Structure 1
Amino acid sequence: MTLAPLTSDLLADVPHGFFTRIGGSSTGIYGGLNCGRGSDDSPQAVQNNRSAVADFFGRPSDHLQSVHQIHSPQVQILTAPLTDTPKADAMVTATAGLILGVLTADCQPVLFHDARAGVIGAAHAGHRGAKLGVLQNTLAAMEDLGAQRQDICAVIGPCISQKAYEVGPEFLEDICHDAPEALRFFAQGKADRYQFDLPSYSLDQLRTAGIKQAAWTGQCTYSAPNQFYSYRRSRHDNQPDYGRLISCICL
């Protein structure tokens, strides 16, 4: 199978990829590279897809690490392969050979690298995790392994864009309750609806944190059904489930 990951020049000195749904062995509504064990897809197909991703990096399938994502600010520091699946939404490591992989389907996959210190990170950041501080906590965990904030580059991969992210007033109130300046990430929609700019919200957090560089790859998961899975699109299309994209980085 031929995989088609997107990459970023900011991470050019480390193996990484924001994988699309292109390639893979899943069929039906999951057609392509569904790497989500939490989906109702065939477990064998999911494992084949994950093995293909590990093989892309030239590593055994058990080197591909992932956590049980719960939209939290929790970060797992890895010094060896995981022996279980802890609840967390980000991982960091300075251990060569480990592939950090996060799953998304509209939420943001964020990959981090400090080339000077040899430390990497990967985070799953939806609006809840971002509001709770998962990105800042990932930076702090990287610093625990010797990274320096001013040397860290971070890239947000394909996620839902502002034009596709319609939310209600209670969502705006939640985001802005403790941070009224976040109002600038909302555009007025129809009636009482708003359009939320998730990647700009998180880019602002990363830049405010003082890292070297931060960028978004610019692709909208909702708007490109042949390339990306999308939770929101699956709901609008009345589909019973949806696939999960994987984004990975390794040393």
Structure 2
Amino acid sequence: MSAHALTHPLLNGAAHGFLGRRGGVSTGDLAGLNVSYSEDDPALTSENRALAVEAVLPGARLQTCYQIHSADVVTVSEPWADADRPRADALVTDRPGVVLGVLTADCAPVLFLDAQAGVIGAAHAGWKGAFTGVTDATLDAMQALGAARANIAAVVGPCIAQKSYEVDAGFETRFLEQAPENERFFRAGSEGHAWFDLEGYVASRLRDAGVGKVGMLGEDTYAQEARFYSFRRATHRKEPGYGRQISLIGLRPA
């Protein structure tokens, strides 16, 4: 059984893939390529993670973090054991043979590449992380390794789409207070509610930060049950678990 990875031409200078739920060994509500240890048999999760790495950069060492919806970034210089993974929401490295991974289930995964400098990054951008600047912090960490923002390509992977993401008035007010022009990421919904464009907001933050090339996959995790895990969909259905997918990027060894 092989995992299925979506790719984007802006990241062709690195091994990468945005994976969904297809091709894994988990069963039941989590059927497919679930990569979260918190809801599944650890043996199945480990096998799914190995399948994901095999689909993107065979033989690479997978590095993930314990995600906390923050703007914190870790630079991977020496690999750590999975049990010792740091609390953060983004990773960067210039080390070949290491594959960076972020887990999502409606939040936006963002993969970064400066092919000229040989520096990569991966960020988990839920609304909290995106709002507080996880993508900006990732760019800063890449620059510290020699990357240049004008040379960086960044791609926003599968996440919940605006048509599926209804929020309350307090949520919208928070973004409008940050910047009035954020109004363009909201569409009026039912009374006291609006529909939020997470993907567009994250892409805009990247462009405003000086990223040279920005791409979006335009894949709605909520609406595509056969392809992606979704926290909001599982919550609406009162399902006991929701699973996670993984997005990966790695530098190929010379």
TM-score under structure 1 length normalisation: 0.97
Match of 2:53 in 1: 54
Match of 1:249 in 2: 249
Match of 1:205 in 2: 205
Secondary structure of 2:43's counterpart equals helix
* Structure 1 residue 81, shift from structure 2 partner: 0.5
Amino acid at match of 1:144: A
For residues 77-226 of structure 1, what are the structure 2 equivalents within 5 Å? 77-83=75-81, 84-226=84-226
Are 2:2 and 1:5 equivalent residues in the alignment?
no
**RMSD of aligned C-alpha atoms?**
0.9
Worse-superposed segment, 23-32 or 174-183: 174-183
Secondary structure of 1:22's counterpart equals coil
Where in structure 2 are there 5+ consecutive unaligned residues?
A: none
Aligned length: 248
* Structure 1 residue 54, shift from structure 2 partner: 2.1
Match of 1:65 in 2: 63
Distance in 1 between the 2:215 and 2:85 partners? 29
* Structure 1 residue 228, shift from structure 2 partner: 0.3
Distance in 1 between the 2:131 and 2:236 partners? 25
Distance in 2 between the 1:70 and 1:176 partners? 24
* Structure 1 residue 178, shift from structure 2 partner: 2.2
Runs of 4+ in structure 1 over 2 Å off: none
* Structure 1 residue 146, shift from structure 2 partner: 0.3
Q: Is the 8 A contact 2:2 2:51 kept in 1?
A: no
* Structure 1 residue 148, shift from structure 2 partner: 0.5
TM-score under structure 2 length normalisation: 0.96
* Structure 1 residue 73, shift from structure 2 partner: 0.3
Where in structure 1 are there 5+ consecutive unaligned residues?
A: none
Secondary structure of 2:6's counterpart equals coil
Percent identical residues: 48
Once the two structures are superposed, residues 153-190 of structure 1 have per-residue CA deviations (whole angstroms, 9 ceiling, x without a partner) of 00000000000000000101122222222111100001
